Structure 1
Amino acid sequence: MELILDRGLSHQQKPIDLISDVFKGVQIDSPTRYFENPTISLFDNNIKKNINEIQKKLPPLYRGFTPVDKSLNLDIKMETGTGKTYVYTHMMYELHKKYGINKFIIAVPSLAIKAGTANFLKDEYSKRHFRDVNGYGTEIEVGVLESPKNKKKGRSYFPSVVSEFVRGSSQNSNKIHVLLVNMQLLVVRKNGLLSRDDYDYGTEGFYRPFDALKATKPFVIIDEPHRFSRDQKAYKVIENEINPQSIIRYGATFPNKAGSNKNKSTHTKDYQNLLYDLNACDSFNLNLIKGVTKEHFDPVSKSAEKIKIMSIKNKESINIQFLKKNHKTKTSTLKKGDSLSIIHEAFEGITIDGIGKSYVVFSNGIEKQVGEELDVDIYMTSYQEQMMRLALDRHFETERINFSERNFKIKTLALFFIDDITSYRESDEEKKPYILETFEKLLIERIEKELSKLTEYEQEYKSYLEASLDDISACHAGYFSRDNNDSDEAIGQQVQTILYGKKQLLSFKNEDGTPNTLRFLFSKWTLKEGWDNPNVFTITKLRSSGSENSKLQEVGRGLRLPVDENGNRISNEEFFLNYIVDFTESEFAKKLIAQINGEISQGSIITEEHLAEVAKSLGVSTDDLFDELYDKNYIDRKMNISLEKREEFFINYPEFSKGLATGKVRDSNKKRVKPVKIRKGAYDEIKDLWERVNQRYLLYFEKEVDQEMDEIVLSILEEPGVFTDMVMTSSREVIESDGHSMTTGNKTGVQYIISNSIPYNEFLKRIMKSTNIPIVKIHQGMCEYVKRHGDLAEKYINENTASIFIQKFNEWRNSNLQGRFHYTKSNTPVKSTALSYSDGTPREAISQGRIGNKIAPGSPSSKYLYDTFAFDSPLEYKNMASDIEEVIVYGKIPNNSIAIPTITGGMYSPDFMYVVKKPTGEKEINIIVETKDVEDKNSLRKVESAKMESARVLFDLLSEEGYKVHFHDQLKNKQMAQIIREVLK
């Protein structure tokens, strides 16, 4: 499979544009040496002016210009899972295109992040996306700085990736040079890789790598800035040794200001010219990431056994007391490296990693101060076994839906965090890996149970589960930090797959065509920031990390929206991450919600300005609106929002909506979200319409389009700038004497137009794959171009030309093909659907996320297809809550269930379906509705309008075939009753 990147997502395009806007009108001088970036005039007043203008859209707390000291600092805040790596990669292309910047250093805090970033930058699907889809015609050349594994005696070699990065020409318009480095290498040591100056040779006259990097005048991108606080060594090295022109930080979490209290609100964060704030609240509410469902078991034994840190002696040993039923028993003295199993067998595998003046650090990451306690219950094997059983239940609930109940399949993954490697890895010791053995036993039981529940319509899923049973060990893999130095081939393959094989993990098939059943991953807190997989749906912390770090960072490994088996990101329905913890973290959901709402201003109070703004939109006075809200007990006299009525308030007054939407973070111990039931009687009434609109249709363009294709291809080829040169610039240095010693002096170089062509057949194939224009048509257009304009130099048959042609054709297609196509019914029979099995019988229920991410109290009208108010927008809720006399039955169309092909190349699925009776009484009128919660059609994106027009053509065809279907769009200012009466007329 190949991952497919979305282009132009607004939450990703906006920060790219904002960074670019910082440099509008700023003086930028051309490079004086071939290997350096253009020089930004950092004290140009336009920089401050541009930043102040950009920050007007931020809350007042986040505004403020940070003057340039050594570098221009810029911050972009984006929540985990929203595509930070994509955004800063796209930003590099944009800054290169607009300002000629082509030397970037990306600094990351860990090896896992470095591996993921390198994969993204190097992968062909990423390169093709920016080159062809976005039309930059430029490629990134990335060098990954690694610590030398085997230091050889004798000659010392200057780091080759640094040399290649430095020598890359900033005047080459087709290359962006990137150096990727982890923070451990950014440390000045006596023999540090970048800080030493005794190499046998250098590059461009530099023998110290830091000096060479500094000379390129780079831009530095910092990923995960909370790991790079400004008082930390790695940051100081970036600032002083590399001294970039600009430091651009991208992160979900930023470090605190020096001396600030970590428990205070986010205004204590150390922002440096914050430009964009895509916080967790917006990310959850806009469905840019998964929601979270937390679940835990209460203690198993109720034994109330604990251990307590009593005292520490000279940072060498600790005294730990064992408590049972809160009664003191024995006290043990342990040193670094000792196992806690000396105190109680439940702590097997936990050792003391470090001892401080007043604290101790255990091998599972827990840090405890003197006087603090640890519960024994959560370390008992029986407790962990129940957690694994629960995790498998949640996994297979999700996997079955993702495999069998959608129009596309989603590979479903689960991640387990453990703290004892020997409990999973087999070793030469007699000790059995109890987590591994227990997990495989439970997995076999759970798969056999799942097989017994399958219907006759789920044969493909049955085969997948049977393949899992045939080789249970192939279903799981682990990655631990010590694996990096393990020579075992099987372990090496697991590490390769987990760290670097994202696409392999997402695929249902191995390269040889056999089922790929690997979907359960184990790690020891190693997969932290930087590692993620979009299809992780369950995370289980088998033993608490004891961490008080960001709760968002903890769930971050599974927040990204999933992709289907073809690599398409699924963003038009709601998904949830199952997060399973032990009882010591029973308040996890509460703390997560508090953290999310704590990141926004005015999350629990209405300001005077907001009240006045909403009153004006509703056409009432500010005082009248206040009285109305106060009388309904939605607010108090100080305009604090009532916690008890918060959900009801936002449903009835969506204009005030602030903070995390209800149901985005769930605590399953309090209320388990149930599937929404499908009412059989209502389904029987709407079955005919449902089956008709689920019939498959193929889209064909009119013959005239094919006949015009020669002319269209030729017209695009004849547009200025389609055929481009490639240029190489020389740097000329002269060795001369200044009367005392020999020196080098720069002289004017030359620029040559070079031939960097690709084979003609590859050129044609590249255009054909992205446009679906037959190769023969492209070839004929090229021949006609040559006939009219003379021979075409071979150098123009290059990647740039192909990319520009593809971009221009896509623009032409979206503007010119509306109304020039038709649909033909496919012979493919309708199998199972989101609401029914292949024999036409209705399903019992449907997952809530497929019909709405919000739940309102109450029971819908008996005419409604489902037994629950599940909706995505206030307009949808109004439709569901309206019992219209003429309506026989109505229902929300499950997301992504009706696949209408459109001219944009994608599929389209409307929102609502209605069956209405005529004035004479018989049911005959079918209405399909697309709801858009906007004021007017001018607010709709061009792509959305194109999809709706395509649907209109299809439903007109159904009507011509004898099955009348009315298709309408519904905007914010129109009620459903009005649409129905218009149709009846």
Structure 2
Amino acid sequence: MELILKNDLPHQVKAYTAIANVLSNDLIQKNSLYYQNPTLLLDRQALMTNLAIVQKDNNIPAEYKAFNEIGSYLNLDIKMETGTGKTYVYTAAMFELHKRYGINKFIVVVPTLAIKAGAKQFMQDGYTKRHFKDQCGYGTELDVLVLEATKKKKGKNYFPGVVREFVAGSSQNTNKIYVLLTNMSLLGGTSKLLTDSYDYGVEGFYKPIEGIKATKPFVIIDEPHRFSKTQKAHEFIEKNICPQAIIRFGATFPEIETGRGRNKIKRKDYHNLLYDLNSFQAFNQNLIKGIAKEHFEPVSQRQDKVKIMSIQSKTAVKFNLIQQGGPTKSFELKKGDSLGLIATELEGIIIEGISTSTVELSNGQVKSTGEEFSTDIYSTSYQESMIRLALERHFETERINFTRNNKIKTLALFFIDDIYSYRVNEGQDKQPYLKETFERLLLEKINAVLPTLNEQEQEYKDYLQASKADLNATHAGYFSQDNSSSDEAIAQEVQEILYEKKKLLAIKDEQGKFNTRRFLFSKWTLKEGWDNPNVFTIAKLRSSGSENSKIQEVGRGLRLPVDEYGNRISNEEFKLNYVIDFTEADFAEELVKEINGDLPQGFTITDEKLAEVAAKRNMDVDDLFVELLSKEFIDRNKNIKAENIDSFFEAYPEFTVGLQQGKVEDRNKKKERKIKIRKAVYDELKTLWEEINSKYILHYERVEQNNFLFNELLGLLKNGVFSDTYITSRREELNTTGSRVTVNEDSGVQFKISKPLPYNEFLKRICRQTNLSIQLLHTVLTEYANENNILPDRINEQSAANFVKLFHDWKVEKLSGRFSYSKANLPVKATALTFSDGTPKSEITQGVIGTKFIEGTPSEKYLYDVYAFDSPLEKDNLLVDGIQEIIVYGKIPKSSIAIPTITGQSYSPDFMYVIKKDNGEKILNVIVETKDVENQTSLRGIEQAKIDCAKVFFTQLTIDGYKVEFQTQLNNKKIRQIIDEVLQ
């Protein structure tokens, strides 16, 4: 599979363009040496002016603007919640800064090796390179130079090669951006890698740090909460690297204290915050998964604890049993004794080893002197129950994901106490406890699921049979000790988990065999920076302590998933199953507090928001302002009064900020609602549903018959697609005039860069990006070559990228009305509502219908037994009991109808209705697309193009013998109006 990146996600575009917008061309001075970045002029007035404009555009709260300042370098902060694409954004920022200002020397600093591996994988992967070069049209690429710790060898002391390449790389090379990727442990501290002197240097520098400093780099810091400004790595960056700019990207920023005594306050260390995509926005905008937390209550309900008091000469251990509401008892046990002597819940756990400070137990856990543990949590039965629950949730989700039209590989992540409860220790002659337990419970669960599968789920049945045939292949682990392991099997597991994301996400391997590896084990090693979007279940079999950020704990599972073809699925509601022990029973409440605690202290209503709410309430803007002012909800400056904030949000929910209901669920308190499909209603909608799910092909036959497409493509080729790429040197001479030294620029030289592609690969690359047939491309290119001489080296990557960009722009602009649909003769497949044999399913996933609910029983005309919706406009469409002409209706599950469009993306409308005229003579079928915008001109170009395609599609459906009325509903139109228009 190939992961498909999108370049037009608003929350990401805003972030990286904010950085570029702070700078301007008049603040950039040409570099004086070929290996240096251009010089950024720290003009405080100009930068502060630009900062203010960017912060206003991005609605940065006033309290954060108070920390704006320009120091000895430019510091910029970008806050983005975990899972929203920080690595993509800082990569895009480098391309944008290079495109606008010629900056091409960047240092990316990350805190850990795992994050480093993830960043390296993303920036070096072929799909990333093609995305930024071809789809985004930057026409350049990253040269990622990874700095690694090395051991000194006898003989010559060689300068680090990646630093040599970074320093010597020319800033005049318009086709390359140099990125030095390093982790914090190599900056200062005990590492001398950059500060040692070497026998050989580069450009006269024999200390790597001196060469790096001379390039005038821009530094990007990932996870800034790990890099407080008093920490050694940050001090090393400031004092030794001396960057022109430090750009920090993180979900969490370090805290600093200001003031003394009673005036002492803690605040986040924001410094020129440009963009604030906080956690409640990420959840509310469906940029990440929601969370469903679950735990088991303790078996005994007493919550007794065992504490290791002391160890005597590696022979005996003193324990205290601390009983809730009872006396504390002491025990002394030796190697081979059972912990069941202390408490019956611990029966079966044996002391297998004693060191000077630790006790090794038969369940694989190692406990230290002074450590406490609950008798219930660390009992075999409790841990097994947690694993069973995690597997239950995993298979619930996997079954749904596997039976979709475009399947989703479903992963689960287990955080455990000790590596040797999962991995065989050297000299150990038996299977580790946890691994053995997991495989036993997995086999048990597979055997329970298989008999429940129906004929339409044959492929999933085969997948489970393959899992059952080789249980060991279904799981893998990554631990810090693995970095020094020589075991080939372990190395392969680590390689797949850390570096082969696409392989892990694939349901089948290159040979067509099932890839069943989907259960991952770690000891918190896979935390910040590790990225796999298809983690749907996290089971925390070890307690991490209450001081940890709750968002960071679940962060590995928050990213939106990708399907089997690499497409990110962003228009559905997904939930992360989070299984923990009872000591963290309040996790969901604490998480909600943390999310809402991320909000700024003061809120101001913008003019735009006031106008939006006034329009929805059919009020004049000024009247609404006066109403809020008179009720003392706001002051004259539109600031919400803190003392009345709760009653204000209750009375005017349209203004509410904070986490929406249902984004974080506590399954122990609220049972997940299942949405059932009403068979009788579906029978009425059956014909309409089957027809709109018919597979149609989008093609250009009418266009090609008129030679329109051929001529248009030929025109694109004449628009500068084929051009030589040159690299230009900058030659400067030093002249002495009296006592002054001046620099005179000479013309330098130019060299042509040649990176040709084989002709067949050139055609394939354009075909993959545009869906144009290779035959058509060849015909057009042949015609162009008859009139223009195409040199062989101009059939290259840059030319392919030029054509793809021009074609995508042309397609949306000019293809409206010049395409057609034809029905495909394809076998019937399962749909969101039916199995492949056409019979309706009994229930549907809540997330594909809506996240909010209307209490009460829906109308008998409605397809489901629950009203679920996402927006106020959808809510209005559901409550139509008074419209007698409606026979039946239903909300169309998200992304369930894949109508191909000229944008390259599929389209799926929102509602379906079957209505009748007053005399009952004629039945009409209506499909409605809802858009929460005021008018047609508010739609983005791509959205409008999709709707235009849908109109053509439903027209073709009518021509083919089944009449469907397609209507677009904007914010100012009611469903009653739409039905009246259709009836007329």
856, 859, 862: which one pairs with 1:861? Answer: 859
In structure 2, the partner of 1:810 is: 808
- Following superposition, the deviation at residue 602 of structure 1 comes to 6.6
Report the 3-state secondary structure (helix = DSSP H, G, I; strand = E; otherwise coil) of the residue aligned with 2:543.
coil
Matched, 1:154 2:155: yes
- Following superposition, the deviation at residue 200 of structure 1 comes to 1.2
- Following superposition, the deviation at residue 192 of structure 1 comes to 0.9
Which aligned pairs between 1:507-906 and structure 2 lie closer than 5 A?
507-601=506-600, 614=613, 618=617, 619=619, 620-622=623-625, 638-641=643-646, 649=650, 653-705=652-704, 707-720=707-720, 723-729=723-729, 750-761=748-759, 762-789=761-788, 791-883=789-881, 884-906=883-905
In structure 2, the partner of 1:54 is: 54
Report the 3-state secondary structure (helix = DSSP H, G, I; strand = E; otherwise coil) of the residue aligned with 1:640.
helix
Matched, 1:480 2:482: no
Relative to structure 1, is the Cα distance of residues 763 and 611 closer, same or farther in structure 2, using a 3 angstrom cutoff? closer
100, 111, 114: which one pairs with 1:112? Answer: 114
Give the conservation status (yes or no) of the 8 Å contact 1:636–1:642: no
Q: Within 2, Cα distance between the matches of 1:796 and 1:508?
A: 39
Which aligned pairs between 1:202-351 and structure 2 lie closer than 5 A?
202-258=201-257, 268-307=267-306, 321-329=320-328
- Following superposition, the deviation at residue 776 of structure 1 comes to 4.8
Give the conservation status (yes or no) of the 8 Å contact 1:347–1:376: no
Q: Within 1, Cα distance between the matches of 2:354 and 2:62?
A: 48
- Following superposition, the deviation at residue 860 of structure 1 comes to 1.7
Which aligned pairs between 1:78-227 and structure 2 lie closer than 5 A?
78-148=80-150, 150-189=151-190, 192-197=192-197, 199-227=198-226
Q: Within 2, Cα distance between the matches of 1:636 and 1:809?
A: 52
Give the conservation status (yes or no) of the 8 Å contact 1:834–1:897: yes
Q: Return the letter of the residue paired with 1:177.
A: Y
54, 72, 75: which one pairs with 2:74? Answer: 72
Matched, 1:14 2:14: yes
Give the conservation status (yes or no) of the 8 Å contact 1:185–1:193: yes
Q: Within 2, Cα distance between the matches of 1:347 and 1:12?
A: 53
Relative to structure 1, is the Cα distance of residues 697 and 779 closer, same or farther in structure 2, using a 3 angstrom cutoff? closer
Give percent identity, aligned residues only: 55
- Deviation string 1:813-848 (CA, Å, 9 cap, x unpaired) is 111111112211111132321112223222111010
Give the conservation status (yes or no) of the 8 Å contact 2:762–2:797: yes
Q: Within 2, Cα distance between the matches of 1:309 and 1:464?
A: 46
Relative to structure 1, is the Cα distance of residues 897 and 192 closer, same or farther in structure 2, using a 3 angstrom cutoff? same
- Deviation string 1:919-955 (CA, Å, 9 cap, x unpaired) is 1124611100000011111111111111111111121
Give the conservation status (yes or no) of the 8 Å contact 1:755–1:794: no
Q: Return the letter of the residue paired with 2:646.
A: I
Q: Return the letter of the residue paired with 2:584.
A: E
Q: Within 2, Cα distance between the matches of 1:451 and 1:421?
A: 32
Give the conservation status (yes or no) of the 8 Å contact 1:62–1:267: no
Q: Within 2, Cα distance between the matches of 1:527 and 1:551?
A: 15
Report the 3-state secondary structure (helix = DSSP H, G, I; strand = E; otherwise coil) of the residue aligned with 1:106.
strand
Q: Within 2, Cα distance between the matches of 1:265 and 1:721?
A: 62
In structure 2, the partner of 1:5 is: 5
- Choose 250-259 or 295-304, whichever is displaced more: 295-304
Which aligned pairs between 1:900-979 and structure 2 lie closer than 5 A?
900-922=899-921, 924-979=923-978
Give the conservation status (yes or no) of the 8 Å contact 1:70–1:239: no
In structure 2, the partner of 1:359 is: none
Q: Return the letter of the residue paired with 1:641.
A: D
Q: Return the letter of the residue paired with 1:548.
A: E
Give the conservation status (yes or no) of the 8 Å contact 1:532–1:556: no
- Choose 967-976 or 696-705, whichever is displaced more: 696-705
Give the conservation status (yes or no) of the 8 Å contact 2:696–2:821: yes
Give the conservation status (yes or no) of the 8 Å contact 1:483–1:491: yes
Q: Return the letter of the residue paired with 2:711.
A: E
Give the conservation status (yes or no) of the 8 Å contact 2:76–2:274: yes
Give the conservation status (yes or no) of the 8 Å contact 1:61–1:267: no
- Following superposition, the deviation at residue 609 of structure 1 comes to 11
- Choose 700-709 or 522-531, whichever is displaced more: 700-709
Aligned-residue Cα RMSD (Å) equals 3.6
Q: Within 2, Cα distance between the matches of 1:269 and 1:895?
A: 39
Relative to structure 1, is the Cα distance of residues 608 and 928 closer, same or farther in structure 2, using a 3 angstrom cutoff? closer
Q: Within 2, Cα distance between the matches of 1:759 and 1:606?
A: 55
Q: Return the letter of the residue paired with 1:153.
A: K
Q: Within 2, Cα distance between the matches of 1:593 and 1:495?
A: 34
Q: Within 2, Cα distance between the matches of 1:296 and 1:260?
A: 42
Q: Return the letter of the residue paired with 1:858.
A: G
Q: Return the letter of the residue paired with 2:975.
A: M
- Following superposition, the deviation at residue 589 of structure 1 comes to 0.4
Q: Return the letter of the residue paired with 2:125.
A: D
Q: Within 2, Cα distance between the matches of 1:637 and 1:145?
A: 50
Report the 3-state secondary structure (helix = DSSP H, G, I; strand = E; otherwise coil) of the residue aligned with 2:162.
helix
- Following superposition, the deviation at residue 266 of structure 1 comes to 11
Give 5+ residue unaligned stretches, structure 2: 312-316, 359-363, 634-639
In structure 2, the partner of 1:315 is: none
Relative to structure 1, is the Cα distance of residues 494 and 603 closer, same or farther in structure 2, using a 3 angstrom cutoff? farther
Give the conservation status (yes or no) of the 8 Å contact 1:142–1:178: yes
Q: Within 1, Cα distance between the matches of 2:579 and 2:259?
A: 32
Relative to structure 1, is the Cα distance of residues 146 and 600 closer, same or farther in structure 2, using a 3 angstrom cutoff? same
Relative to structure 1, is the Cα distance of residues 844 and 783 closer, same or farther in structure 2, using a 3 angstrom cutoff? closer
Report the 3-state secondary structure (helix = DSSP H, G, I; strand = E; otherwise coil) of the residue aligned with 1:458.
helix
Q: Within 2, Cα distance between the matches of 1:637 and 1:15?
A: 29
- Deviation string 1:97-155 (CA, Å, 9 cap, x unpaired) is 1000000000000000000000011110000001110111101001101111x432222
Q: Return the letter of the residue paired with 1:796.
A: R
Relative to structure 1, is the Cα distance of residues 622 and 765 closer, same or farther in structure 2, using a 3 angstrom cutoff? closer
Q: Within 1, Cα distance between the matches of 2:849 and 2:10?
A: 23
Report the 3-state secondary structure (helix = DSSP H, G, I; strand = E; otherwise coil) of the residue aligned with 1:516.
coil
- Following superposition, the deviation at residue 959 of structure 1 comes to 2.0
Q: Within 2, Cα distance between the matches of 1:654 and 1:951?
A: 34
Give the conservation status (yes or no) of the 8 Å contact 2:139–2:801: yes
- Deviation string 1:882-915 (CA, Å, 9 cap, x unpaired) is 2122111110000111111111122111000001
Give the conservation status (yes or no) of the 8 Å contact 2:722–2:794: no
Q: Within 2, Cα distance between the matches of 1:118 and 1:874?
A: 43
- Deviation string 1:274-322 (CA, Å, 9 cap, x unpaired) is 000001111111111000000000012335321469899xxxxx99743
Report the 3-state secondary structure (helix = DSSP H, G, I; strand = E; otherwise coil) of the residue aligned with 1:639.
helix
Relative to structure 1, is the Cα distance of residues 751 and 116 closer, same or farther in structure 2, using a 3 angstrom cutoff? same
Relative to structure 1, is the Cα distance of residues 609 and 122 closer, same or farther in structure 2, using a 3 angstrom cutoff? closer
Relative to structure 1, is the Cα distance of residues 203 and 597 closer, same or farther in structure 2, using a 3 angstrom cutoff? same
Q: Within 2, Cα distance between the matches of 1:340 and 1:31?
A: 70
Q: Return the letter of the residue paired with 1:162.
A: V
Give the conservation status (yes or no) of the 8 Å contact 1:349–1:422: no
Give the conservation status (yes or no) of the 8 Å contact 2:698–2:900: yes
Give the conservation status (yes or no) of the 8 Å contact 2:257–2:264: no
Relative to structure 1, is the Cα distance of residues 610 and 802 closer, same or farther in structure 2, using a 3 angstrom cutoff? closer
- Following superposition, the deviation at residue 568 of structure 1 comes to 0.4
- Choose 90-99 or 65-74, whichever is displaced more: 65-74
